Amino acid sequence: MSVADAPLVVGVDSSTQSTKALVVDSSSGEVVASGQAPHTVSGGAGRESDPEQWWQALADALAQCGDFARRAAAVSVAGQQHGLVTLGADGRPVRPALLWNDVRPAARTADLVQRLGGPKAWADRIGSVPAPAFTVGKWAWLREHEPTAAAATAAVRLPHDYLTERLTGQGTTDRSDASGTGWWAASIERYDEEILALADLDPVLLPSVVGPGEVAGTVRELPDLPFSKGTLVGPGMGDNAAAALGLGLRPGTPVLSLGTSGTVYAVSEQLVPDPSGTVAGFADARGDWLPLACTLNCTLAVDRIAALLGRDREAVESGGSAVLLPFLDGERTPNLPGASGLLHGLRHETTAGQLLQAAYDGAVFALLRALGLVLGQDERTVDGSASPLLLIGGGARGTAWQQTVRRLSGRPVQVPRAQELVALGAAAQAAGLLTGEDAAAVARRWGTSDGPVLEPTERDDAAWERIEGVLSDAVPLFDGSGSPGGTS
Ligand SMILES: Nc1ncnc2c1ncn2[C@@H]1O[C@H](COP(=O)(O)OP(=O)(O)O)[C@@H](O)[C@H]1O
Ligand SMILES: O=C(CO)[C@@H](O)[C@H](O)COP(=O)(O)O
């Protein structure tokens, strides 16, 4: 079948920094058109974005796809997880969305954790111990700090729900994104009424959860978007679940994603809650689970340090004893929302390139330290060696990121040639709606994870132990210290 014959599908990735849209040939997986438009995120104490800007960015990204978007038969939207979108009775945002990396709700989240009976009670119930990223703490923060906005809220949505609803007119979400709210009970796959009561959130404000393989609705009359009325709309999903779909991921294969957030995850057939809170027990977008650890400081933090040093992001140098914990935004893994960046081990002979390398090391260390917990019993070996770590996200294109992951993991690293795996996962979901196939099988058919495998190198144990030592000594310094904007 040629591009002209095969149905086209659209996959959207509405992530922290931008919206990316791909028009994909559902038969071959060929990307026939693409577009991208940036978002603005507030600085200072909080991290907020205007949901209306995501819609405009979606329109702009689709406009770059020419006439292909109009010809699409189905579309799915993936989005950054956890963000609190509050809509008024008129369906418009009451205020900007509070994003996943806004640590202001730290104190309210800790309070909710205690009120339900502690971390284990949450892990048993929702599969995760909520971090300040989770929507439940954001809602508690809003109620405390902006009661008028909370009272004016007629609907609570996640970023991908907001966009899907603007396409269809129906308030829907999916299990993967619902599992990052804190009010969706993984054990029973339903909203948890006791937790909703604890958070003072009326369940009628929430979207319905559309199951994997189901249709969320169809595109309504939309003058500002180039979709045809009646185009099928999939349930969508959180961006990490989308990348897992986009890779056609099978249990036991770990993924390291280097974007605004750093994430490390794998698909698992079992939900194994982690009461330590390091690993979130998210649902995936099929019927399995997605144990995942997430850091707040990844590509943006390292790029910021490169800028401070006046160096290109690739201008790293090896050697030296510097340790840099790049916790510029506070940190989530480890859970230190009040942390800030810390530099240790500086000597007269330390070079700027070594300092930049230390920033990469600190960012990658935090993710790799969680890898064993993420994989748990699912760790698989290939011919006696660890299976390759799939490296994705914007940072995966960088040599310094690739080499740092190799050096600190000691594992083979595979870099898929396909770059927009979140949008591809959304497109695979949309294609599955047309063919009835499992979306991960669609992505495997498309060969999306194909790419070079970088051979393992010996793990740099000395650097690992140095970072681990500094982190453990620094925890008392960070614990209880105020975040840049205060976390009360
Ligand atoms: N060639 C490259 N080398 C290294 N890093 C890159 C490269 N291209 C983009 N990036 C990094 O990728 C990041 C964006 O990643 P992306 O996964 O698109 O983010 P998000 O999905 O969170 O919006 C940027 O912050 C930038 O630092
Ligand atoms: O909070 C999480 C995962 O729990 C983040 O991974 C967000 O989903 C944002 O993703 P990116 O914009 O960095 O892709």
Q: How far apart are CA 178 and CA 156, in angstroms?
A: 12
Q: How far apart are CA 21 and CA 337, in angstroms?
A: 32
Q: Give Dmax over CA atoms of the chain in angstroms.
A: 66
pLDDT of residue 488: 40
pTM confidence score: 0.96
Amino acid at 312: D
List active site positions: 239
CA 244 to chain centre: 11
Is residue 300 lining ligand 1, measured as CB closer than 6 Å?
Answer: yes
Query: What is the enclosing helix (H) or strand (E) of 22?
Result: strand 18-25
Cβ pair 20, 420 in contact under 8 A:
yes
pLDDT block averages, 10 residues each, the chain of length 488: 75 97 98 98 96 98 96 98 98 98 97 98 97 98 98 98 98 98 96 97 98 97 95 98 98 96 97 96 98 98 98 98 97 96 98 98 98 86 81 98 98 96 98 97 97 96 98 88 40
Topology of the domain comprising 8-242:
Nucleotidyltransferase; domain 5 (3.30.420)
Q: Of 461, 357, 371, whose CA–CA distance to 404 is shortest?
A: 357
Is residue 260 lining ligand 1, measured as CB closer than 6 Å?
Answer: yes
Is residue 395 lining ligand 1, measured as CB closer than 6 Å?
Answer: yes
Q: How far apart are CA 170 and CA 248, in angstroms?
A: 28
CA 142 to chain centre: 22
Q: How far is the CA of 395 from the centre of ligand 1 (A)?
A: 5
Ligand number nearest CA of 17 is: 1
Q: Of 6, 16, 4, 69, whose CA–CA distance to 40 is shortest?
A: 16
- For a substitution probing ligand 2, which of 15, 256, 263 has the most ligand atoms within 8 Å of its CB? 263
Is residue 238 lining ligand 1, measured as CB closer than 6 Å?
Answer: no
Amino acid at 414: Q
Ligand number nearest CA of 316 is: 1
Q: Give the residue carrying structure tokens 């935004």.
A: 329
Specify the CATH superfamily of domain 248-419+451-479: ATPase, nucleotide binding domain (3.30.420.40)
Is residue 398 lining ligand 1, measured as CB closer than 6 Å?
Answer: yes
CA atoms within 13 A on the CB side of 264: 25
Q: Of 348, 287, 302, 294, whose CA–CA distance to 321 is shortest?
A: 348
Closest C-alpha to ligand 1, atom 13: 394
Q: Where in the chain is the domain with CATH 3.30.420.40?
A: 8-242, 248-419+451-479
Ligand number nearest CA of 177 is: 2
Q: How far apart are CA 262 and CA 274, in angstroms?
A: 19
Query: What is the enclosing helix (H) or strand (E) of 125?
Result: helix 119-126
Instruction: Tell me the binding residues.
Output: 81-82
Q: How far is the CA of 300 from the centre of ligand 1 (A)?
A: 8
Tally Cβ neighbours within 10 Å of residue 218.
18
Q: Give the residue carrying structure tokens 């942390």.
A: 339
Nearest atom of ligand 2 to the alpha carbon of 261: 13
pLDDT of residue 4: 54
Q: Is the peptide bond before 334 cis (omega within 30 degrees of 0)?
A: yes
Closest C-alpha to ligand 1, atom 9: 394
Instruction: Tell me the binding residues for substrate.
Output: 81-82
Is residue 393 lining ligand 1, measured as CB closer than 6 Å?
Answer: yes
ipTM for this model:
0.98
Q: How far is the CA of 434 from the centre of ligand 1 (A)?
A: 32
Tally Cβ neighbours within 10 Å of residue 168.
19
Q: How far apart are CA 282 and CA 251, in angstroms?
A: 14
- For a substitution probing ligand 1, which of 19, 40, 260 has the most ligand atoms within 8 Å of its CB? 260
